[in-house]
Amino acid sequence: MLNLQSYLASLTHRPPAHLVICNDSADLDSVVCAAVWSWAVSANGHGRVLPVIPVPRSELQLRREVIGHLDRCGIDPSGLLFSDSPALEPLLDHQKSTCTLVDHNGIPAVGQGNCQVTEIIDHHRDEGFHPDSRRTIEPVGSTATLLSRIISSTSPELLDRTASLLLLGPILLDTAGLGGSGGRTTEEDIRQASLLAKISGSDVSALYEQLSTELYDYSFLSTEQRLERDQKSYTLGTFRWTICSVGISLRSWLREEPDLPALMEKYRSRTSADLLAVMCRYEHRGFHRELVLLGPHEQGLVEFLNCRGGFGLEKLGGPGQGCYLQKNTRCSRKELAPLIRHYVSALSDSSC
């Protein structure tokens, strides 16, 4: 049996194959889960299983914590498939190709839904797609938690130091170091993280510190790259909204980029989004969130988010239009995206 590094280094991208497709934010949880699950499924005798990261290869460079963590685990990202890898289309189009979705459960961002989804492992709200697939969808801190549980109970011999260290990273990042402040840590996250820390011999707080330093290092990115780095787009009918998640406070961002409001507006129009939501999060004597909303119906949406989602949005005076302090730091993109969907669908219902 090949170890994880050798497996990823030796992949041939020929069809047919089973693809493990992560979500198009390509955050640490997604990328790690695509890599680990493709290897675990293949090691269990399922032939060629390939990890797919549905963003252009160049975008990975914007995610310093992903590059940093893969590097810590001795993994070369060039073995992964990206949305612009020439080998991807033939793989997705081949009749016999099938796929697993990790870290999302909707329609994958590549392949226009042609590739049959046979399995889902995810921690987001179940959107009800792919009803015939084998599903593991549970509201834990990260999908890596679910992979750790599945692998440790079905093929514990696979969890070597590398695989354990790799999986531990996203659990720590997504649960804010297993702390309570982000509000997303479950018993299962703590159980799996301690198992993985033990096997990999990791110092949990040192690793979390390293990962958050990498995650919050925005110094090398332009404003456009900061928005691009972790963004997801959604549509309902003709209405399109984009939610960017950025690890910086509005105050420091504005200090570096006084033109920020205009540049955000430019990004919104370049990406053809009707609504742009920018979720800022940062640590300063605790965990904080801010929200910028650019687009129509801002006031109504803010009331809806406060009333239905308990966001606790309060208008910020200084930075410009549409900037809010988000007092409820538990609400992330996972909560925001479906609430905007409800709001938009209510709008279109009442207009007809």
The count of chain residues that interact with Mn ion, using the rule CB under 5 A, is 3
Instruction: Kindly tell me which of 97 and 175 has the beta carbon lying closer to Mn ion.
Output: 175
State the minimum distance, in angstroms, from the CB of residue 201 to Mn ion. 25
Q: Which stretch binds Mn ion (CB under 5 A): 80-88, 140-148, 159-167, 253-261?
A: 140-148
Which residue's C-beta sits nearest to Mn ion?
29
State how far Cα 336 lies from the chain centre.
14
Instruction: Kindly tell me which of 17 and 110 has the beta carbon lying closer to Mn ion.
Output: 110
Distances (CA, A) of 69 to 23, 107, 139, 329: 18, 27, 24, 26
Binding characters for Mn ion, 144-183, by CB under 5 A (x = yes) = ----------------------------------------
Instruction: Kindly tell me which of 138 and 217 has the beta carbon lying closer to Mn ion.
Output: 138
By CB under 5 A, tell whether 103 contacts Mn ion.
yes
Residues in 6-45 at the binding interface with Mn ion, rule: CB under 5 A: 29
Instruction: Kindly tell me which of 268 and 281 has the beta carbon lying closer to Mn ion.
Output: 281
State the minimum distance, in angstroms, from the CB of residue 59 to Mn ion. 17
By CB under 5 A, tell whether 122 contacts Mn ion.
no
Q: Which stretch binds Mn ion (CB under 5 A): 3-11, 12-20, 142-150, 241-249?
A: 142-150
Neighbour-count burial for 44-64, b at 16+ CB within 10 Å, e otherwise = eeeebbbbbbbbeeebbebbb
> Which residues are paired to 280 by β-bridges?
246, 290
Q: Would you say 36 and 49 are in contact if contact means Cβ atoms under 8 Å apart? A: no
Q: Please report, as ranges, the residues that interact with Mn ion according to CB under 5 A.
A: 29, 103, 143
